[in-house]
Amino acid sequence: MEGSELWTILAWVLFWAVLIGATTLFSLRLLRRASVLAQICLVVVATVAVLVAGMVSAFNAMFISARDLEVMWYILAVASAVAVALSLMLGAGVSRNAARLVVAARRLGRGETLDHAEGRARAPAMTSELAELAKELEASSRSLAESREREAAIETARRELVSWISHDLRTPLASMRAMTEALEDGMASDVPGYYRKIIGQTEQMTAMVNDLLELSKIQAGTLRLRAEPLDLYDLVSDALSDLAPLAAQRGITLDGGGDRECMAVADGPSLARAVRNILLNAIIYSRPDTVVHVSVGRDGMGQNGGNAVVAVQDQCGGIRSEDLPHLFETGWQKDRARGTTEGLQGSYSGAGIGLSMVAGIVKAHGGSVTVDNVDGGCRFALSLPAEAPQPSSFPATSGTSADERAGGAS
């Protein structure tokens, strides 16, 4: 073959390739909303067209015999048919898989959970990209299902909490109304005593409202904590001194001990509230003439001697093992009975949200709260990191707990 003939053939091939390629790109742009099957077939047909046009140009330039030209046409026809058939098969498979993903996305939008483990063996094999997309859809489906379950549980807990709070508010309000009507009618024999009871009921309602406000800040993530170095031993000592009269009234002995210098970086007022709630629960639910032991120390793990731990161990009789996993769930109550709160006005709201605040406050500090049954009672441990999370002022995460205990548990 002479050089001029070769350049002529290459020129014709290039011409047809550019012409058919440009036409194909324009057609793909027009068909960009069409199915994948149509686009794949268009690309294959364009490739075959470039091949046929190039071969015809080469045949004409080389002046081959009519017999050879007829044979080449047969070869091109068979090759073109096979190419188009393969493209149809490939496009049909991709279209089926794309349709499956569309159906899966619709099911996901309807809130159904996707699980293709059973039908995956019968389904046509997907490309790696489509298979990865299918896996992501399944993972998203599971995540959404879990989120819906959590949302439903939270909504149920909130409704129950509103119901319980309404009941708890109605009781002191009814008592206050009865006493004020008795005072108004002149039927009260002990007027100063009635006044004291009304003030006590008011203080109890104030404590309940304050607990609700604190819990709402925790669950909304708007509680702001100001971290600063503080001695947990001094913080626990203040709580013991504050609650000592109530413990003595109920025949409970408070025993404090541990490291006299146990430093932590935390928000003093909020952490003091958490420690006080734990200690108050222990006093309320412990049996008379028993000891509530409070200790301060470190867990001995990690840097700087480990996390700081405030532990409160009471003699409440323990918590049933089946109830332990639910103790830190929002609004969970095993027993609606409040028990006696006589003499606790102003210090105990009875709203059943004490441990919710404790869990939220401790989590906001980057710590954790645990509870275990030990020696006829239970032990609450508040673990706090030695260093404050960054930044030093941070929002609290939602606490999820109720402080009602089952079977005499605190």
Mean pLDDT of all residues in 204-223? 75
pLDDT digits (tens, 9 = 90+) for 295-348: 888 876 544 557 888 999 998 888 888 777 767 765 555 544 333 444 444 444
Q: Whole-number mean pLDDT of the chain?
A: 75
**What is the distance between the alpha carbons of residues 20 and 36, in angstroms, rounded to a whole number?**
20
* Phi, psi torsion values for 253, nearest 5 degrees: -100, 130
- Burial of 125: CB neighbours in 10 Å, binned 0-12, 13-18, 19+: exposed
**286 CB-near residues (< 8 Å, 6+ apart):** 250, 252, 292, 314, 315, 316, 377, 410
Select from 61, 93, 112 the last residue of a domain.
112
* pLDDT, greater one: 40 or 59: 40
Say if residue 232 is in the same domain as residue 106. no
Per-residue model confidence (pLDDT) at position 42: 80
Q: End of a domain among 77, 112, 147?
A: 112
Q: Determine, yes or no, domain membership for 174.
A: no
What is the dihedral sign for C-alpha 212, 217, 220, 225? negative
pLDDT(407) > 60: no
pLDDT of 123: 55
Q: Report residue 403's pLDDT band, with 50, 70 and 90 as the boundaries.
A: very low
Q: Is the CA virtual torsion 27, 29, 34, 39 positive or negative?
A: positive
Q: Over range 262-268, report the average pLDDT.
A: 83
In a domain, 12, yes or no: yes
- The residue segments making up the domain with residue 15 are 3-112
Query: What pLDDT was estimated at residue 405?
Result: 39
User: Is the confidence at residue 350, as pLDDT, over 60?
Assistant: no
Q: What is the mean pLDDT of residues 198-206?
A: 84
Residue 189 burial (10 A CB sphere; 0-12, 13-18, 19+): exposed
Where does the pLDDT of residue 1 fall: very low under 50, low under 70, confident under 90, or very high at 90 and above? low
Q: Is the per-residue pLDDT at 58 higher than 50?
A: yes
Answer yes or no: is 132 within a domain: no
Q: For residue 70, is it within any domain? A: yes
pLDDT recorded at residue 409 = 39
Q: Looking at the structure, do residues 231 and 357 belong to the same domain, yes or no?
A: yes
* Helix H or strand E segment including 177: helix 128-185
| CA 396 from centre of chain | 14
* Encoded amino acid at 407, one letter: G
Q: Is residue 126 part of a domain?
A: no
For residues 100 and 238, membership in a common domain is answered with no
Residue 214 has pLDDT above 80, yes or no: no
Q: Is residue 140 part of a domain?
A: no
* pLDDT above 60 for 400: no
Q: What angle do CA 190, 195, 198 make, to 5 degrees?
A: 125
Which comes out higher in pLDDT, residue 48 or 118?
Answer: 48
d(CA 273, CA 235): 10
**What backbone phi and psi angles, to 5 degrees, belong to 256?**
-110, 150
Q: What is the pLDDT of residue 117?
A: 55
Burial category of 390 from C-beta neighbours within 10 Å (exposed 0-12, middle 13-18, buried 19 and up)? exposed
The CATH number of the domain where 365 resides is what? 3.30.565.10
More confident residue, 195 or 332: 195
Indicate whether 263 belongs to any domain: yes
Quote the pLDDT of residue 124.
Answer: 58
Look at 79-83, 190-194, 377-381 and tell me which has the smallest mean pLDDT: 79-83
**CB-count burial class (<10 Å; 0-12, 13-18, 19+) for 363:** middle
Q: Is the pLDDT confidence value at 349 over 70?
A: no
For residues 5 and 62, is the Cβ–Cβ distance under 8 A?
yes
Q: Which of 84, 112, 140 is the last residue of a domain?
A: 112
Residue 52 CB neighbour total at 10 angstroms: 18
Residue 24: pLDDT over 70: yes
pLDDT over 80 at 2, yes or no: no
Highest average pLDDT, of 2-6, 94-98, 406-410, comes from: 94-98
* Mean pLDDT (whole number) for 125-154: 78
Claim: this prediction has a pTM higher than 0.85: no
In a domain? residue 153: no
Q: How many domains does the chain have?
A: 2
Task: Assess whether 242 and 387 both reside in one domain.
Answer: yes
Instruction: Determine the pLDDT at residue 312.
Output: 92
Considering the domain architecture, whether residues 104 and 234 belong to the same structural domain is answered as no
Nearest Cα to Cα of residue 236 among 264, 211, 200:
264
Q: CA-to-CA distance for 14 and 135, rounded, in angstroms?
A: 44
Q: Give residue 410's pLDDT band: very low, low, confident or very high (50, 70, 90).
A: very low
Do 234 and 382 share a structural domain? yes
Check pLDDT > 80 for residue 356.
Answer: no
